[in-house]
Structure 1
Amino acid sequence: MTLQHPSPLPGFTPWPEEFAQRYRQQGYWTGQTLGDMLREQARRHPERIALVCGQRRWDYAEFDRRADQLAAGFARLGIGARDRVVVQLPNVAEFFTVCFALFRLGALPVFALPAHRRTEIGHFCRFAQAKAYVIPDRDGGFDYRSLAREVGPEAPTLQHVVVLGEAEEFVALDSLYDAPRELVGPSADEVAFLQLSGGSTGLPKLIPRTHDDYLYSVRASADICGLDQDTVYLCALPVAHNFPLSSPGTLGVFHAGGRVVLARRPSPDDAFPLIEAERVTLTALVPPLAMAWLDAASSRQVDLSSLRLLQVGGAKLGAEAARRVQPVLGCRLQQVFGMAEGLVNYTRADDPEEIVFESQGRPISPADEVRVVDDDDRDVAPGETGHLLTRGPYTIRGYYLAPEHNARAFTSDGFYRTGDLVRLLPSGHLVVEGRAKDQINRGGDKVAAAEVEDHLLAHPAVHDAAVVAMPDAYLGERSCAFVIARDTPPRAMELLRFLRERGMAQYKIPDRIEFIDHFPKTGVGKVDKRALRERIAALLAQQPA
């Protein structure tokens, strides 16, 4: 495949040249693209099974061939280098053929989640100036073609809606498999795709990841986790999430030449039979799902003996739950703490048990730079809690097309302000103590309070709104919206219905609404959300268990 080296993507903040040179010289960036990685595995072991999706079993040769055929079909539609394509597919094999086809064209997937609706998808299509939008026909009882019809008129750059399944008036994905042809591919220092931030100030921001930086994270993660050709990975979380994509995730398994088994749903009813039938060795969960699996495994006769490693990340796993993993599931636990912007931390196989139970791991790379600072960016004393700052060979230097936000989210010398409050142990492991950003971590799904508040304020009966986290034994946090009404308070059900009709993802809809006469204020006159969190926690504590 012919390579091209154009100027950087407008809106992308590259690493300073001195850092880029260092990362190449030290072997972190190797010049390999994601498309090349799959090609190499298909050449090395074409007949090994790469993907299991229901009754379908694709070997590496077929996987590679389908990606080439689909790349030719996308090129026929006029999709090429740097074109943005919003990809909203569930856990199906076609997610990977679509992504690798776009990688080989140099086009940029924008990874949407199946739960996203009109508000989010419309924003992604407009902001990224997407040329195409890839969806299933239906999934989980929802018709994504109807969503495309709603979004289309609001997205002037959108030329193609590509549908897996019954396409109706749109383009059928199956019609795009053409004979492979010579294509001009990207260079490894170019942006490969755009991921979504957790978001604390409104709709998600877009995170540009290059082939070089992301593949380093994938390779290093695969090495830390001991992946090889015998690895069988169950992808139970939504496949477009950074955690199951790269930590080490599906891409790490492909890099190692192992097998990925796709689960359409992460429930024990769906996942346990797949573990038994496919002899799954590795999977990744968020804490609420890990708890559900522990409870289910305790009460069922199920063969999970092939499972060697359970990764838990996305939110903090309590130490008591962590201690149950090996006795109940019969496998080792690995805690993972990371972010789509870059830094990923793992506990290691040789860590003491208490480190595995109590910490969220230490960074992947010796080139990861970590600082823990106070509110004035001064380093805190060892062991004290502070704000986590980081930079390194796979941590971005800026969000896509967000100069004003980047000025706040990054220090002048390039450290990313993660928004996490952590303690740094003498061993280099991090203990996550909470979030400094105005965000609710609902079982791994990040909810930006500002976004929900903006939607609530659009209701004519709402004068003001403040959304905060409330404790929850299952999800870790749920959301509570405190609302000041203009006159007569509307019914809570009316507000919830209003938010759904505005096209918000279901996980962003407040779990509870409390009407209030006025908000407590800080000394500088801001809404005191800490006081609101304490208020709802006290109310919950008074309720019978």
Structure 2
Amino acid sequence: MLEGFVPFPEDFARRYRERGYWRDRSLAQEFSAVFARHAPRIALIDGERRYTYAQLDALSDNLALNLLALGLRPLDRVVPTLPNVAEFVILYFALQKLGCIPIAALVTHRHAEISQFVRLAQARCCVYPASVREQGGEFRFAPVIERIQAEQPCLQLRLVLGEAGPGEHSLRALIERPAAQPAARLREIRIDPADPCIFQLSGGTTGIPKLIPRTNNDYAYNSRVAAEVAGVTGDSVLLLVLPIAHNLPLACPGIQGFLFQGATVVLHANTRPAEMFALIERHGVTHLKVVPALLIRLINDPAAAGARLDSVRQIQSGGQRMQPEVRLRTRQLFRNAFVQENFGMSEGLLMFVRPDDDEEVQLQTCGRPVCPDDEVLLIDDEGREVPDGEVGELACRGPYTLRGYFGVPEYNARQFTPDGFYRSGDLMRRHPSGNYIVEGRKKDLINRGGEKISAEEVENLILMHPAVQNVACVPMPDAAMGEKMCAYVVLKQGAALDLPALTAFLKAHEIARFKLPERLEVLPDFPVSTFGKVSKKTLGEWIAARLADEARAAAAG
């Protein structure tokens, strides 16, 4: 067993097997049957490139064999930071065939995040594009990964999507170059279905993200049951523009769930509405995955007026709560689509609204669990269940919810109850229908368009600025993104700081751009709670009120 991994207790594992949730097959075995059953069908579309199930199988076989020749072995950890391209999918299945564990990093991550992932997981391999465009120019990954390799001796392999430089291997060459070993060599690899198949990333409140081990057994079930509840069939076509390694696009039901059903996944690397509308028309897209911020852009874009969108049957929204007005306007644009609110966490539990829920339930709730054996409690600070209808912290356990983060036993002792319920930090209330309503969160997070930002992580960096005495980062409301980050600072005597200077300072620390504060407020001191702590609640109310005043002033003239 991988050191640092917390397995499911044996009595629960036995129950999940007996009830058919776990089939004791690795993801490689699960998809071997899928690839054979749907061999001639189109599995994947990326621009002008189309891949059948058989081709996806053969290319991932070949890549796996070439990675095996480079020394990768079962349970080795790999950090891919790739955009929404076919190479990610081929790599993902190649790693599953080897029993390697990908870490669900993003193409927007930079040195601060990637180096943490490598260190935490003791990763042996990084996979990255040669460069990506970003505001202000082009970002090249190689110098960053070279530095991480020098800092972390565990990192031995660097694979690049693009022209390979010194010390790098070309990912495309490894996919296309005939392997020296036969594909039968992969069938000799033994993968324990109870072992992790991926490390998803927590949206934790600490500066260091936690690694979420998802096992072969639980991740396969996660995708199968999500596909069932989301109405995925062999005729379904998914347009995927959300970051491909996130839990929702990858597995809820995502790529895994759609391929389980013999469906087609269309990949696209940006969220421009006009391009999305064109892809929907061209490919007869039936399913979309969005966050509310993206959905708001779609329904307000001028290109929507002339778009033919009748093929869309379901729009799955996650990442943050959708306002009822957004849902109602979406129905006007996508006339044949069911807008499915859902609540999900990379740690496991999924809740989906169902098509047969009453109108009020669809508009007000985030759904209910997808599995009969999802156990949900709403608890107070002492761990006691709150009365029905009152707000409590969501705690859960079940056949696809983790039993512990990777390698952090002390943290796990705080985040899990003695009987194995995961304390999520999300505040919820149970609706009389049995669905749940999100009421907020206990965690200190900013939810920017579905990307969870740890306030503590950014605060720790801002405190390093020579002008800053104290800092508190809080969410501020935003019509498009849901929330953005406002940094409140107390400056040292005689010091000055503006937002461009703060942004430049944070960029020098190489964090992902979506974590940068988008407003700076300077105060002489912070408000405090009755316990003497900085009152972020008060700060949040202040910035919300100021934004409302500014909006009223702008409207008045």
- Structure-1-length-normalised TM-score: 0.97
Question: Counterpart in 2 of 1:240?
Answer: 245
Distance (whole Å) between structure 2 residues aligned to residue 189 and residue 246 of structure 1: 18
Q: How far apart in 1 are the matches of 2:548 and 2:356?
A: 39
Task: State whether structure 2 residue 441 is matched by structure 1 residue 435.
Answer: yes
Per the alignment, residue 357 of structure 1 pairs with: 363
Q: How many aligned residue pairs are there?
A: 538
Q: Please say if 1:174 is aligned against 2:172.
A: yes
Task: Note the C-alpha offset of 1:251.
Answer: 0.7
Deviation, 1:300, is: 2.4
Pairing of 1:32-51 with structure 2 (within 5 A): 32-51=25-44
Letter in 1 for 2:79: V
CA contact (8 A) 2:274 2:304 kept: no
Residue 98 of structure 2 aligns with an amino acid whose one-letter code is L
List, as ranges, runs of 4+ consecutive aligned residues in structure 1 with deviation greater than 6 Å.
Answer: none
Q: Distance in 2 between the 1:383 and 1:443 partners?
A: 28
1:534 pairs with 535, 541, 557, which one?
541
1:379 corresponding residue in structure 2? 385
Is structure 2 residue 196 aligned with structure 1 residue 191?
Answer: yes
Report the equivalent of 1:157. 154
Q: Distance in 1 between matches of 2:473 and 2:357?
A: 38
Q: Which stretch shifts more, 460-469 or 273-282? A: 460-469
- Cross-structure match for 1:143: 140
Q: Partners of 2:491 and 2:293 in 1: how far apart?
A: 34
Aligned partners of 2:273 and 2:303 also within 8 Å: no
Secondary structure, in 3 states, of the residue corresponding to 1:36? helix
Residue of 66, 87, 90 corresponding to 1:94: 87
2: CA distance, partners of 1:273 / 1:223 = 28
Name the counterpart of 2:280: 275
What is the distance in 2 between the residues matched to 1:490 and 1:358? 42
**What SS does the corresponding residue of 1:134 show, helix, strand or coil?**
strand
TM-score, normalization by structure 2? 0.95
Separation in 1, partners of 2:532, 2:477: 26
1:270–1:26 distance in 2 versus 1, CA, 3 Å? same
Match of 2:519 among 500, 512, 521: 512
User: Counterpart amino acid of 1:106?
Assistant: G
1:303 lines up with 2:296 in the alignment: no
Mapped partners of 1:394, 1:224: distance in 2? 15
2:296 corresponds, among 279, 291, 315, to: 291
Q: Which amino acid aligns with 1:146?
A: P
Code of the aligned partner of 2:545 = A
Query: Which of 389, 412, 415 does residue 409 from structure 1 map onto?
Result: 415
The one-letter amino acid of 1:339's match is M
Q: Which residue of 2 aligns with 1:501?
A: 508
Q: Alpha-carbon deviations, 1:465-514, whole Å to 9, x = none?
A: 11111111221111111111122122332111000110011110111111
Show the 5 A alignment for 1:386-465: 386-465=392-471
Moved more, 143-152 or 371-380: 143-152
Contact 1:297 1:329 in 2 (8 A): no
Provide the C-alpha distance between the structure 2 equivalents of 1:225 and 1:539, rounded to a whole number of angstroms: 41
Match of 1:340 in 2: 346
- The answer on whether the counterparts of 1:236 and 1:262 sit within 8 Å (CA) in structure 2 is yes
8 Å contact kept, 1:267–1:289: no
For residues 98 and 299 of structure 1, what CA distance do their matches in structure 2 show?
35
Shift of 1:298: 7.5
2:231 is paired with a residue whose SS is coil
Identity of aligned residues (%): 44
In the aligned structure 1, how far is the partner of 2:125 from the partner of 2:46? 25
What corresponds to 2:12 in structure 1?
19
Residue identity in the other structure for 1:422:
M
Q: Distance in 1 between matches of 2:367 and 2:38?
A: 33
Question: Structure 2: which 5+ runs fail to align?
Answer: none
1:90–1:114 CA contact under 8 A, matched in 2: yes
Deviations 1:242-294 (A, max 9, x none): 11111111110010010000011122122111110000000110001001111
Say if 1:359 and 1:431, in contact at 8 Å, map to a contact too.
Answer: yes
Please state whether the residue corresponding to 2:393 is helix, strand or coil: strand
- Other structure's SS at 2:103 match: strand
In the TM superposition, residue 297 of structure 1 has moved relative to its aligned partner by: 6.4
- Flag the 1:176–1:272 CA change in 2: closer, same or farther, 3 A: same
Matching residue of 1:3? none
Q: 2: CA distance between counterparts of 1:471 and 1:295?
A: 19
Q: Amino acid of the residue matched to residue 174 of structure 1?
A: R
CA RMSD of aligned residues (A): 1.3
Native 8 Å contact 1:489 1:515 kept in 2: no
AA aligned to 1:363 is: P
SS state at 2:40 partner? coil
- Point out the more displaced range, 292-301 or 78-87: 292-301
Cα shift readout 1:430-467 (whole Å, capped 9, x = no counterpart): 11111111111111010001000000011122111111
- Counterpart CA distance in 1 for 2:288 and 2:333 is 15
Does the residue aligned with 2:426 lie in a helix, a strand or coil? strand
Alignment match, 1:71? 64
- Partner of 1:185, secondary structure, is coil
For residues 343-396 of structure 1, the C-alpha deviation after alignment (integer angstroms, 9 at most, x for no partner) is: 011011211222111111100100000011122222112111111111100000
What SS does the aligned partner of 1:478 have?
strand
- Structure 1 distance, partners of 2:152, 2:543, is 40
Asked if 2 retains the 8 angstrom alpha-carbon contact of 1:48 and 1:60, the reply is yes
Distance verdict in 2 for CA 1:353–1:16, change over 3 Å:
same
Taking the aligned partners of 2:274 and 2:205, their CA distance within structure 1 comes to: 34
Which residue of 490, 494, 499 maps to 2:497? 490
> Does structure 1 conserve the Cα–Cα contact (< 8 Å) formed by 2:470 and 2:491?
yes
Tell me which residue corresponds to 1:476.
482
Matched, 1:220 2:225: yes
Instruction: Report the more deviating stretch, 471-480 or 142-151.
Output: 142-151
CA contact (8 A) 2:277 2:304 kept: no
Cα deviation, residue 173, structure 1: 1.0
Cα distance between partner residues in 2 of 1:441 and 1:100: 30
For structure 1, which segment, 58-67 or 177-186, has the greater mean C-alpha deviation from structure 2 after superposition?
177-186
CA contact (8 A) 2:80 2:103 kept: yes
1:492 & 1:60 partners in 2: Cα distance?
50
The CA distance in 1 between the partners of 2:360 and 2:327, in whole Å, is: 10
Do the aligned partners of residues 298 and 69 (structure 1) sit closer, same or farther apart at CA in structure 2, a change above 3 Å counting?
Answer: closer
**Equivalent-residue separation in structure 1 for 2:535 and 2:151 (angstroms):** 37
- Partners of 2:171 and 2:373 lie apart in 1 by 41
Q: Does the residue aligned with 2:327 lie in a helix, a strand or coil?
A: helix
Match of 1:10 in 2: 3
Contact 1:463 1:485 in 2 (8 A): yes
Consecutive unaligned residues in structure 1, runs of 5 or more: 1-7
Q: Report SS of the residue matched to 1:371.
A: strand
1:131 aligns with 2:124: yes
Aligned to 1:4: none
- CA contact 2:274–2:303 (8 Å) conserved in 1: no
